[in-house]
Chain A
Amino acid sequence: MTTLTDAWSWLTTAAHWSGENGIGQRLVEHLFLTVVCLALSCLVALPVALVLGHLGKGGGLAVNLANAGRAVPTFAVLVLLLLSPLGPYGEWPTIIALVLFAVPPLLTNAYVGMRGVDADVVRAARGMGMTGGQTLARVELPLALPMVLTGVRIAAVQLVATATVAALAGGGGLGRIITAGFNLASTPQVVAGALLVAALALLVEGVFEGVQRLAPAGARGSGA
């Protein structure tokens, strides 16, 4: 119990929030890393998944990639990239490792969502004279949107979680508070950092849950 109160007093000390190693700076780094990696992963994964889903090809690839992604420790990928010729280029090893990690769930969910669209609906769209691109953009994508968004949510939460690992390899982000705590043998700081990371992960999960709940309603509203 004393550890918790110590952690709380660590968190509520104003000095720990400001400065180059402060919580504020680490939070910004963490969010920046998450947002950049999420955007890059979406740019890589979604077009591929949507086109493959539209064509109905490559399902095995999507599922196998997702399984393989789970087996490869992100920490190992990160360290391998750090020691590779890419190493000296600042945040790039971290970003690449995180993107590689976030692509599989995005790919699988978007693909499964696209395949889940009722074949009769797609045929009706074709019957109305829609081209392949129109069918994809106006029929399949809106119907697949909940699954696509679930993929984005999973990827976002996992990115928040995994961005902490960057700190193990000397990168920035909230994980840095934890690793610094370990190095100082300061359990209160470790626990305080962990609480911050956990709170951020839960917050992101909650925000996406809210967005998802709004999304179908919004789609219906504009369609009516």
Chain B
Amino acid sequence: MTAPPDDCLARNEWICGAYVSTRDEILTDAVVQHLQLTGVSVALALLLALPLAVLARRWRWAAGPVLGITTVLYTIPALAMFSLLLPVYGLSAALVVAGLVLYSLTLLVRNILAGLRAVPEETRQAARGLGYGPVRLLLAVELPLALPAVMAGLRIATVSAVSLVTIGAIVGHGGLGNLIYAGMNTYFKAQVLTASVLCVVIAVVADLLLLGAQRLLTPWTRVQAA
């Protein structure tokens, strides 16, 4: 082996500034794809979970099946979930999104339902006494009071989704997972470490942003704490 120049890429080092500067475009694309996949999945899951949880709250008999089915979906491993959906979606980003939606659903439905159930009966009666109809009661009283539980579920679902997106690499739509997968096959240490660290950074930043949003949306909880 000829002596490589003083270059961390040539020496295949774990931490390599030259890697980050020369591949910034690839990294940006991967981060953007990662964020898109996570964002779309969690948003869709939330859109699906809200009506499901509200239905399960309204009709007691619906709670069992809704929780049961979402739990079963959650038990199925991510790699298997992506694979089972393969005939429906083919090798596409939609496949990864569909898998992640099914995953996040359990966490969200459980938390929303727990939040709705924790709303005190007196509070609901008071709202009804003020002339609130069922829809207004839900939107103006129950959902806001359930918000801390909803946000807790949303944070867990988002952080899990960020880490699960990497497995999408098997169908070529894994965001930073693609870089990890490719780096593994080529023994490219800097790429694997950089992409892994970026994954964790995305998860932490997303968690902090959601925490911030929760604080802004639920000012009353802070008043109580003080």
Contact = CB atoms under 8 A, between A and B. Distances in A.
A90 to B, nearest CB: 17
Given A3-B87, A70-B163, A75 B180 contact: yes
B2 to A, nearest CB: 23
A195 B76 CA distance: 9
Contacts of A76: 163, 166, 177, 180, 192, 195-196, 199
Contacts of B80: 161, 164, 178, 193-195, 197-198, 201
Given A71-B163, A80-B196, A193 B207 contact: no
Interface in A147-162: 157, 160-162
B189 A83 contact: yes
B213 interface: no
A179 to B, nearest CB: 7
In terms of DSSP, what is the predominant structure of the interface of chain B? helix
Interface string A135-149: 000000000000000
B180 A164 contact: no
B169 interface: yes
Nearest to B201: A71
Interface in A72-95: 72-77, 79-80, 82-83
Interface in B157-179: 159-160, 162-164, 166-167, 169-171, 177
Nearest to B73: A198
Interface residues of B, number: 40
Contact of B159 (A3, A4, A70, A202): A70
In terms of DSSP, what is the predominant structure of the interface of chain A? helix
A175 interface: yes
A178 B192 contact: no
Interface in A174-207: 175, 178-179, 181-182, 187, 190-191, 193-195, 197-198, 201-202, 205
A67 B163 CA distance: 12
Interface residues of A, number: 40
Contacts of A31: none
Contacts of B82: 194
A73 B75 contact: no
A210 to B, nearest CB: 15
B76 A202 contact: yes
Nearest to A166: B79
B86 A191 contact: yes
A112 to B, nearest CB: 15
Given A76-B195, A76-B196, A201 B75 contact: yes
B159 A194 contact: no
A201 B76 contact: yes
B119 interface: no
Contact of A205 (B75, B169, B171, B183): B75
Nearest to B85: A194
A222 B211 CA distance: 47
B203 interface: yes
A168 B168 CA distance: 11
Interface of A: 3-4, 67, 70-77, 79-80, 82-83, 157, 160-162, 164-165, 167-169, 175, 178-179, 181-182, 187, 190-191, 193-195, 197-198, 201-202, 205
